[in-house]
A and B are shown apart, each in its own frame.
Chain A
Amino acid sequence: MRKGNIEPKDCEEDVAAKLKRLQTMVSSARELEAGIEGLVAVLGEQSVDSGAYQVAPSLAKNLTSLREILADSYDFHFREFIITSINRKAAVVFLEGMANEVLINTHIIERLMLQSATGQTVYTPQAEYESIKDTLLTVGALNVVNIMEKAVKQLLSGDTLLLVEGVPSIIIIESRKMEARPISEPETESNVRAPRDGFVEVLETNISLLRRRLKSNNLIAKRFTLGVRSNTNIDVVYFRGIVNPRLVCEVERRLRKIKIDLPISTGFLEGLLEDHPKSIFPTMLVTERPDKVAAALVEGKVAILMDGSPFVLLAPSTFSDFFQTSDDYNEKWLVTSIIRFTRYFSALFAMATPAVFVAITTFHPGLLPTPLAITIAVARMNTPFPAFLEALFMIALVEILQEAGLRLPKTIGPAVSIFGGLVIGEGIVRAELISAPMIIVIAFTAIASFNIANYRINLIVRLLRVPLLSLGASLGLFGVMMGLLTLFVHLSLLESFGVPFLAPVTPRNLKYFSDLKDTVVVAPPSAMDERPEYLNPEDSQRQQN
């Protein structure tokens, strides 16, 4: 081509060729992108099912499988060595932090490495394998599996896997050693004279706390695994021969129906197990105390323990269970009967006092003696708000203070109480925003609510104050009674694993009257020789094996 004049035809060809090259470039870039995406997808993290792998005779293959399964996690360790006595390659696989490294070092690796050839003639790999187990491994608990999934599960629980070249089996050695909270006093249920050990987060320790108290072969602990992703261990504990078998069946049936990723806590589990998830009342008791659980087991209840939570669920639970504490049985029965009585009344007062006060002063002041009525009227003379709003405001303040005291770090706690006291005690009364009788009533209500034994009932009582107050403010004492009756109707409707929630308080017939011995009052220990009938136990008399 001559330089100079560029003919239009040549330019066109030039541009076309360049365009074509650009197009091929774009398409190959696209192909490249697809290819890379494919590669990334292949390389990407998908969940690996350990059930898809088999235990192979080859050590290297097993190790590769394990590394794939565990994706080379940082805490996944393996140590290859040679078993000198049979001159084979072997490897020890464990998870750091969960396995007892001292045991691995001294009882597995040391034993296997240092033991020299004994000179015994062993003929088959299988026999050699057996000889390792029988003569060399000086550990207390081991078993042999040939399914990879089981082995991996055990590995993830803290056990050590021993892989030997040439044998398609894996020896699993129990070597768990995990940091856990030591057994300490249960914080949510404090008692004066009761034992101070409480459950911890490790399931085995908890079971041991129960077995220490009930040394019977009839105490059965059935294991379930819940949680698709978490494989949490759950133990259902009951006393064979006392408990009603239908109850155990029902508990197990409900557990099996649960399908979740992770049971976060026993509260979550309770929400999935209970009869009336929409009701505000709990129908299963949650406790941190082993003595309470042991007593419940002997009565014929079923306990559900979960690994990772120090709280134990008891099924079934009835109304009076929520008002009992361990202290009741550690003091003289007459004294504790009175205290238990006051607990019931405290619950009622904590719920109904503001409502009743507002109802009486605004609707029925004729019920008060004249001097009292005049005193209250004088105290309320210059306050700007109606009694209903005053009560509402004070209840809100008390709730905020209580919740704040719970959540704040301990260092700010005293400041909260000072501030609360100043604001309420001095400021509000001096400024005459809220009348003094109302403050007394609300203070009494708050104090009464502290007397309730069970924290969850405390929450419910605090919740129910406001609707009762509204009913009292709109329909007077009639409204308050209707509210309380609605509450009682609701309690009558509840059932817990087939047992009516109000069962011990409303005995069905004369045979069941013995249930009353432990509800409102505490009977002396010599009189408590029957199990609660509402549980329909197999064996009604205590003190038999």
Chain B
Amino acid sequence: MLMALSPRTVILAGAMIALALITAGCWDRKEIEDRGFVLGMAIDHVTTAGPKGQYDLPHVTQEAGQRKYLITLELPRFRKQGEENSATGSDQHYIFAGEGESLYAVTRAIDAQTGLTLFFEDLQVLVISEAVAREGVDDLLDFFFRNAGIRRQVRVFVTPGRAEDILRTKLQVAEVNSTYIEKISHNVKLVPRFASISDLGDIAEAIQNKRPFFMAGIVTENGEVKLTGVAIFKDGKMVEKLDEWEIVGAKIIRKVLKGGVFTVANPANPEKIAAFELAESRIKVDSHIQGDKLSFSLEAEFVGNLVENAEIEQNALDPAFQATLEQALAAEFTRQTLAAYRKQQAMKAEIYDLAGLLHRQHPAYWKTVKSRWDDEVFPNTPLDVKITVIIRRTGMSR
């Protein structure tokens, strides 16, 4: 049948197909400089409803849905070599905004306004304002989970003020705001008081399992950004914040406290301080069931170095001094842990994955309490804390 075709015919047909493919094909070809790399996104409520400016540019027409959210996008500004390298921030990025309810429609409208095709695969940062967060985010976040182009490593933040300010602020550093924020987040490990950063993947998993989750907070002032406390979300709505002191406790229960500097009143002289740097931590959280009663136990061992002893008269190598210091530190950690735990119990939202722990260790029991976990069972479950601190080194001087 087809074998009867002469080679010439086959070659001609092949050449035609090839030419057709090259000229009319390439449906998805888009030059890289025509893509708009969206690096940061911010979601706010619309401040004043109604048209803005003479032609109401931010308005996005939708068949259904109100003019609810203000979506702000941050794109890097490409500057040619040879142009002046200005150090101020506003020359680093472009900001585009649109107002509507459907995120997809808004991003498409912004697409049409700029000459670039918006490209979300490099999205670094998503900032949500507290007002929006308190209303509920899981319907918003569906846009991110459903879209194949968005990665799950996008870092999500909550900010008490306007989210767009985070992106619009002129920073001291000559960098796009989102990239700068993403770089800051790498340093979270060094400072335990900053909240752990959660990304879209974690939030997706939590929403899927109908568990509470948390988001790190971020504020901006005078051209600087800073990570602050953590916001707890229950059922997709923000309920409470943990302040920086409670965050340490929360990290201990989540077993992610790995480093940081902690100060206590110096045992030798309560008016001076002593500082301890954590080097290694071994934390174990277990669930125990006795009869019908559930309790959790936390055992932790923190090993670190004495880095500052303000009472210079005191010999830092004195074993009694070290023992007292260790006990003081352990007591401080215990206080922080219990404070975090009790606050969560008061919030009736548990973000430490103790539910998962129970599920792993006692699956049968977990099934019986699954539906009542957050509201009834968890607030009444005690936590037994045993923390030991070991000071290994005291530095260069006595």
The interface of chain A, by Cβ under 8 A from chain B, is: 361-363, 365-366, 370, 373-374, 376-378, 380-382, 386-388, 467, 470, 473-476
- How many residue pairs between the two chains, A and B, have CB atoms under 8 Å in the bound complex? 68
Contacts of A373 in B (CB 8 A): 32, 37, 122
CA gap between A278 and B33 in the complex, in Å: 42
* Contact indicator A380/B25 (Cβ below 8 Å): no
* Contact indicator B26/A473 (Cβ below 8 Å): yes
**In the complex, chain B residues 116-132 whose Cβ is within 8 Å of any chain A Cβ:** 119, 121-122, 124
* Contact indicator B79/A363 (Cβ below 8 Å): no
- The bracket for how many chain B residues form the interface is 20 to 34
* Contact indicator A474/B25 (Cβ below 8 Å): yes
Point out the residue from B28, B33, B149 that lies within 8 Å of A476, measured CB to CB: B28
Task: Provide 25 A-B residue pairs closer than 8 Å at the C-beta atoms, listed in order of the A residue.
Answer: A363-B28, A363-B29, A365-B32, A365-B121, A366-B119, A370-B37, A373-B122, A374-B37, A374-B76, A374-B78, A377-B33, A377-B35, A377-B78, A378-B80, A380-B31, A380-B32, A381-B33, A386-B29, A388-B26, A470-B18, A473-B26, A474-B26, A474-B29, A475-B25, A475-B26
Residue of B nearest to A437 (CB): B32
The interface of chain B, by Cβ under 8 A from chain A, is: 18, 21-22, 25-26, 28-33, 35, 37, 39, 76, 78-80, 119, 121-122, 124, 149, 179
Min Cβ gap B398→A in Å is 48
CA gap between A498 and B90 in the complex, in Å: 71
Q: Residue among A363, A366, A376, A473 with the most chain B CB within 10 A?
A: A366
Min Cβ gap B97→A in Å is 22
* Contact indicator A366/B121 (Cβ below 8 Å): yes
Contacts of B78 in A (CB 8 A): 374, 377-378, 381
Contacts of B25 in A (CB 8 A): 474-475
Min Cβ gap A474→B in Å is 4
Residue of B nearest to A473 (CB): B26
Contacts of B119 in A (CB 8 A): 365-366
* Contact indicator B31/A381 (Cβ below 8 Å): no
Contacts of A382 in B (CB 8 A): 80
Contacts of A365 in B (CB 8 A): 32, 35, 119, 121
* Contact indicator A362/B32 (Cβ below 8 Å): yes
Contacts of B32 in A (CB 8 A): 361-362, 365, 373, 376-377, 380, 387
Excluding A474-B25, A474-B29, 15 further A-B contacts by CB distance (< 8 Å) are A362-B30, A362-B32, A363-B30, A365-B119, A365-B121, A366-B121, A377-B35, A378-B78, A378-B80, A381-B78, A381-B80, A386-B31, A470-B22, A476-B28, A476-B29
Min Cβ gap B73→A in Å is 15
Contacts of A363 in B (CB 8 A): 28-30
Residue of B nearest to A361 (CB): B32
* Contact indicator B37/A377 (Cβ below 8 Å): yes
Min Cβ gap A390→B in Å is 10
* Contact indicator B122/A370 (Cβ below 8 Å): yes
CA gap between A473 and B26 in the complex, in Å: 6
Whether A380 touches B33, Cβ cut-off 8 Å, given contacts A474-B21, A474-B22, A474-B25, is yes
Residue of A nearest to B32 (CB): A361
Contacts of B39 in A (CB 8 A): 370
Residue of B nearest to A371 (CB): B179
Contacts of B122 in A (CB 8 A): 366, 370, 373
CA gap between A402 and B31 in the complex, in Å: 29
- In the A-B complex, the 7 residue pairs with the smallest Cβ-Cβ separation, listed nearest first, are A366-B121, A474-B25, A361-B32, A370-B122, A380-B33, A474-B26, A377-B33
Contacts of B76 in A (CB 8 A): 374
* Contact indicator B37/A362 (Cβ below 8 Å): no
Contacts of B21 in A (CB 8 A): 470, 474-475
Q: Residue among B18, B30, B78, B80 with the most chain A CB within 10 A?
A: B78
CA gap between A363 and B29 in the complex, in Å: 5
Point out the residue from A376, A387, A473, A476 that lies within 8 Å of B22, measured CB to CB: A473
* Contact indicator B31/A387 (Cβ below 8 Å): yes
Min Cβ gap A228→B in Å is 29
Contacts of B28 in A (CB 8 A): 363, 476
CA gap between A386 and B76 in the complex, in Å: 21
Residue of A nearest to B149 (CB): A366
* Contact indicator A362/B31 (Cβ below 8 Å): yes
Residue of A nearest to B20 (CB): A474
CA gap between A473 and B24 in the complex, in Å: 12
CA gap between A476 and B79 in the complex, in Å: 28
CA gap between A382 and B122 in the complex, in Å: 22
Contacts of B121 in A (CB 8 A): 365-366
Contacts of A362 in B (CB 8 A): 29-32
CA gap between A378 and B83 in the complex, in Å: 12
